[in-house]
Structure formats: structure tokens, C-alpha cells
Structure 1
Amino acid sequence: MSDTATPAPGEPVPRDWTHPAQGPAPTKTLGDRPSRPAVVVLALGANLGEADQTMDAAVAALTVMPGFTDVQASPRALTKPVGGPPGQPDYRNQVVTARTTRSPWEVLGIAHLLEQEHHRRRTVRWGARTLDVDIVAYGDLTSDHPDLTLPHPRAAERAFVLLPWLWLDPDAALAGVPVAELAARAEGADTVRRMPPERVHLDGGPARPKPSLPDGGRLSPGASPASRGTSRQEETAPGERIDSTWRDRT
């Protein structure tokens, strides 16, 4: 998925953007559902509004999306804008993998709906956005259709996609080439910063301080924090209830 390709970066898009995944798929390949769940790789980016909250919400929506299982989110990256008009804020970027029984065209529709849910507006090519959701790869499928080119035609050179993907899956490959190899030669890789995990409450509320134990009691070791956005167990004293509504946001 990409913005309209006609204008140069920074120039106004000459028409209102419409939803290319509406209606029937343009090819049988894009419209067919897989015979078994396919691994889909999505790239998320945002640099307007509450970007972290927006991306949290998008990942959460994918975890409960019908036809999606085994949703895994990478650590988040902070990156400088690539192309587009000058003066944009830095981006948050993240890669999400999942298994899906949806067709590629249906996944594209879901990506667009997530963008629309968070008020994505396409007025300038490669301009700032509240949320961008690109399909990087759908299994081993290839497509040269202009509305959905697979694999994504620029993913192999985008450090802000390759590095988060590598953080999530060190053995990942794109079109048969190890992502580690692509990331090593990607331009601007040294400017992609891995953001530290941020501990958030699953109801969206602010982080609360850990409860202190009376008489200087020590907390017993708990489970290690999950590295991919799953729930973590709190360190607890014997008999203390585990609060499973916390997780580390990466």
C-alpha cells in the first residue's frame, strides 16, 4: 500500500484519496484466502498526535481481529522522517507479524480501516500522518498490482522497517534475503533508535507506583517481562494477588 505515486514528495495529492481495497479484489491472487494461515508482516508508523497511544490501539485491534492469530509486535523505533516535506516530527515505527486466514485484499482493507479509525488524511505525499499501516509481506506471495505490490517495493531498503523487524525476529527473511543482511546495508540504519519499553496499564490509565510492602519486606522474583508486548506478571510477595493488567509497551 502506498500514497498516490504521481506527485513528487511534498507536493499536494491532486485528488481525494479513496479506499482502494473497497469492492472486489482486482486479481484472483489478491482475492483468494489461503488454504492455511499465512504469515503477514505489517509496518506501522506515526508522527502526529499521540503516536504511541495510536500504535498501541492499532496493535490491540489486530490482536482481536477475526482471522488473525499469533499477533506479535516489535520494539518501537524512533526515526527521522525519510523524504516528504521538511520540518516533520520524528516517527514512531513498529513491525507487527501475524498469521491470518484473510486474503491479501482483505488485509489491505483492514490496514486502511485502521488508518481511517485514527483519522489518517492523505493531503501531501510522504507527509506527516497519524497512522500508516503498510503490508510488507504476505507469506511468499508476489503481486505487481499498483494498489497492492507484494512484497512492499521499498521495504528492503527502509531501515525503519528492517530494524524493528529484526528486533522481533532475528531469523526473518524478505523475498529470500535475510532481513539482517538487508538491515546491515540499509541507508540511515545508524539513525534508527530503539525506544526503551514503557510500562503501561492495559486500561489506558497512567502508570501506578508499585505497592510497598510493610516492614521493609522484599518482593520475590516474578516472571521476566515479555519482549513482544504480551502481559507480564508482577513481582509479588507470597500470597499477594498478581495484577495481570500491566504490560511493557515496546
Structure 2
Amino acid sequence: MTRVFIALGANLDSPEQQLNSACEALFTLAKPDTFAVSSYYRSAPMGEVEQPDYVNAVASLETDLEPLILLDELQRIELEQGRQRLVRWGPRTLDLDLLLYGDAIIEVPRLTVPHYGMNERSFVLVPLAELVPNLILPCGTPLQHLLTPALQSELVQL
């Protein structure tokens, strides 16, 4: 079993309900009694596309799925909840990103783990720290070293 962390985000079609439904689906991929999810946070969208704020969270679970199979499952859940990939950083019903897969560093065409950019994204770091405050990233950096007061102030806990 491998402990994985997955970022959840939505800003269309009742975002909090989208995250609730995603958590139910993610729970089915988890080893019993290993699923946890952070609080939900409101964050401003990235990029230049005008759109509503996001609701974000991070989930943790242990799974026996290999990384690319897990990615397939995450994309299946997104599609089942109406995800359409029309505009980069555009609005979406659900976005599920595999942040960490144990201590693995993965770089293949379909998947990069740790997730690129996660070290600068408050909507990932803050909920991740809520779940595992003393986490050491695969590169050896303590998660707490990335959490600046400015970064933490970018989010509103729901």
C-alpha cells in the first residue's frame, strides 16, 4: 500500500457538492480506514480566464493502485462529474491532481509527481499541511518551510 495525496478543486455546478462527491469516489479507491480530507478552502482562480473562485481541498489515502492506474481512476472520476478540458486553467466541475505518491519521484509523459507547481500553490500547501503538518516532501524539503504567512493568507477556510 502506498500513501497518496490528491488535490481537489471545483468552481462550477455547486463546487462543495462536487468535492463531496469526489471524496465519496476517492474513498472507494482507499484501503479501509485510511481516507482523510482537509477542510475546504476558497481560493482565487489561477490564470487570466475570468471565472468564479474555487473550492479546494486535499485528500489522503492508502492504495495499492499503481500511479498510472490511479491517474486513470482520477480522470474517470472527473469525467463522471462532468469535467471538460476546454481551456487551460479554465473553470471546471472537478479537478483531481495526484500530488504525492509515497516518496516516489515520477516523470513520465502522462504524470509528474510530485505535482509540478505544488510548492507555490496555497490551495495545495495549506490543506496538505492541515493533514500532515510535519510532512517531508520527496525532495527532502519540510512542508512547513514552504508555508509563508502571505501564502496562508490567500485562502479562506469554509
User: Which TM bucket (shorter chain)?
Assistant: over 0.9
Counterpart of 2:65 in 1: which secondary structure? coil
Counterpart of 1:115 in 2: which secondary structure? helix
Counterpart of 2:112 in 1: which secondary structure? strand
Q: Does residue 71 in structure 1 map to residue 47 in structure 2?
A: no
Code of the residue aligned with 1:58 in structure 2: it is: A
TM-superposed deviation, 1:125: 0.6
CA contact (8 A) 1:41 1:96 kept: yes
Give the Cα–Cα distance (whole angstroms) in 2 for the partners of residues 96 and 81 of structure 1. Answer: 20
| Structure-to-structure mapping, 1:47-86, within 5 angstroms | 47-65=11-29, 68-69=31-32, 70-85=34-49
Of 93, 101, 104 in structure 2, the residue corresponding to residue 138 of structure 1 is 101
Q: CA RMSD in A?
A: 1.5
2:131 corresponds to = 168
Report 1 or 2 for greater relative contact order, CA contacts < 8 Å, sequence distance ≥ 6. 2
Counterpart of 1:106 in 2: which secondary structure? helix
| Identity in percent | 36
TM-superposed deviation, 1:126: 0.6
Give the Cα–Cα distance (whole angstroms) in 1 for the partners of residues 157 and 79 of structure 2. Answer: 27
Of 110, 135, 138 in structure 1, the residue corresponding to residue 73 of structure 2 is 110
Q: Does residue 95 in structure 1 map to residue 58 in structure 2?
A: yes
Give the Cα–Cα distance (whole angstroms) in 2 for the partners of residues 145 and 109 of structure 1. Answer: 14
Could you list the runs of 5+ residues in structure 2 that have no partner in the other structure? none
Code of the residue aligned with 1:183 in structure 2: it is: L
Code of the residue aligned with 1:51 in structure 2: it is: P
TM-superposed deviation, 1:189: 3.2
Counterpart of 2:35 in 1: which secondary structure? strand
Give the Cα–Cα distance (whole angstroms) in 2 for the partners of residues 188 and 166 of structure 1. Answer: 12
Structure 1: 4+ residue segments shifted above 6 A: none
CA contact (8 A) 1:48 1:129 kept: yes
| Structure-to-structure mapping, 1:142-153, within 5 angstroms | 142-153=105-116
Give the Cα–Cα distance (whole angstroms) in 2 for the partners of residues 172 and 51 of structure 1. Answer: 28
Code of the residue aligned with 1:117 in structure 2: it is: E
Code of the residue aligned with 1:49 in structure 2: it is: D
Q: Size of the alignment, in residue pairs?
A: 156
TM-superposed deviation, 1:71: 0.7
Give the Cα–Cα distance (whole angstroms) in 1 for the partners of residues 3 and 143 of structure 2. Answer: 15
Counterpart of 1:89 in 2: which secondary structure? coil
Counterpart of 1:110 in 2: which secondary structure? helix
1:44 corresponds to = 8
Determine which structure has the larger helix proportion and give its number.
Answer: 2
Give the Cα–Cα distance (whole angstroms) in 2 for the partners of residues 114 and 173 of structure 1. Answer: 28
